[in-house]
Amino acid sequence: MKKIIILMGGFSEEREVSLVTGEQIAKELENIYQIKKIDPKEYSSYHLMMEEIIEFDPMLVFIALHGAEGEDGRIQAYLSLHNIKFTGSGYRASALAMDKIISSKIAKSVDVPVANKIIYEKSHTIDKEIACQLGFPLVIKPNESGSSFGISIIHHENDIENAIEFAFKYSDKIICEQFIPGRELTVTIIDNVAYPVVEVKPKSGWYDYQNKYTKGNTIYEVPAKLSVTEEKVIKEYALKIYKAFGCEIYSRVDFRYNGEEFYFLEVNTLPGMTALSLTPMAAKEAGISFGDLLKKIIDLSILRC
């Protein structure tokens, strides 16, 4: 029986989500492959973890990690150095996608709209007046984080200081960004093909961690209600991003839409695979079951040179 390792858990704030993703993948694949689940947090070093991976001799490592030390390219670099095949994008695209500041610059370079923003480092003196020039509501978020950790949407100048302090808990660089009103939409790309657009509609508040991972908190529309022209534009933008970053196998690109422009938010190089995850929803709308989606990802990853 062919062997697959599932990397899951890890060290990031998204550890619990990653464990759920890993278990979902393992459950679907365990009757087809010999599965070994590995959690990087259980090892004192990546070197020891790699020794166990090499000893198991898998045909593939399915990366079910999320957030830093999973999506930032480090794991991908280690696996590449040992010529071990893995799912998802390589280390370069992963590192670029994890850095929201760089991501925004790349999107802008390929003519995909991005929100106006100001960058702060911990060493900077925070000038609230400059941040206020972006207008309210204002989004304040860490540069490297996922699943909405460290993000605040604020409506008053008095809230800026606390939001900045909160964001700095997750990154040494933070972003103060113009809030784009309207709709939140996402496009999954698999093997350079854009899948049906998904719209996320939280029943209250915004699409934060609670609304992402609590069943019943969010309504999902698949496909999103868009005109033919709107759908064409957002899919073209998503493909531009996918190619500009050098993504491979599969990724998901998130946008805000104010009714006039689609604004790039971020690209996820290892989209979630839980029951509430957006990539399996898009695949299902395209007629692809969860099992077939995993098989497609595995087959594409094996064929990658």
Q: Which residues are catalytic?
A: 14, 147, 213, 252, 254, 266, 268, 272
For residue 133, give both structure tokens. 């020039």
Which residue from 188, 167, 183, 60 is spatially nearest to 121, judged by alpha carbons? 167
Contact 17, 48 (CB under 8 A): no
